[in-house]
């Protein structure tokens, strides 16, 4: 028989997520920085060339705009087989609001996906990788300032060789 504590700990509410932002970003050719000391991996910098985004509140678009050129994903291909993302984007809404976004996370590729990558295949079918991040936002006071006061998770997909789609989610207030 389970202890009373175990029963109480097991009775957690399920979480629901709400999509609140989607980016479609054009990325440039990787620039090889090289192997880092200590065996941590190989650093490749991918320039952000531009793109578009939309913010959603209660499932409806509330703002849209452009991903500004000049950001970068400082990707680390780890010696352990995991990819580590550290992407920085600057966004500007059609109303002129600037938003800084930093998304750090992981690219985890299956053995079959790794083999395809070694053969020069990119992008991979979605079943062969998982790419997730934890975005953080900076934005001035105003209607989008809630972006700087919540915790988010992101799912990244690669629909084309030079493109990444980032879907950002939050837990809605109950």
Residue 12 has what pLDDT? 76
Domains and CATH numbers, the chain: 19-170 (2.40.160.20)
pTM exceeding 0.85? yes
State the SS3 of 80-134. Answer: CCCEEEEEEEEEEECCCCEEEEEEEEEEEECHHHHHHHHCCCCCCCHHHEEEEEE
- Does position 158 have pLDDT exceeding 90, yes or no? yes
Can you tell me whether residue 69 is helix, strand or coil? Answer: strand
- Does position 81 have pLDDT exceeding 90, yes or no? no
């Amino acid at each position: 028989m389970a202890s009373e504590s175990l029963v109480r700990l097991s009775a957690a509410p399920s979480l629901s997520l709400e999509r609140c932002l989607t980016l479609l970003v054009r990325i440039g050719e990787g620039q090889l920085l090289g192997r880092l000391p200590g065996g941590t991996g190989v650093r490749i910098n991918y320039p952000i060339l531009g793109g578009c985004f939309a913010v959603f509140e209660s499932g409806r678009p509330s703002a849209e705009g452009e991903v500004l050129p000049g950001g970068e994903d400082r990707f680390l291909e780890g010696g352990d087989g995991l990819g580590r993302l550290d992407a920085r984007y600057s966004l500007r809404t059609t109303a002129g609001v600037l938003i800084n976004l930093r998304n750090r996370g992981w690219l985890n590729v299956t053995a079959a996906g790794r083999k395809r990558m070694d053969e020069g295949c990119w992008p991979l079918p979605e079943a062969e990788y998982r790419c997730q991040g934890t975005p953080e936002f900076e934005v001035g006071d105003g209607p989008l300032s809630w972006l700087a006061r919540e915790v988010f998770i992101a799912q990244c997909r690669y629909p084309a060789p030079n493109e990444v789609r980032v879907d950002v989610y939050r837990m809605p207030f109950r």
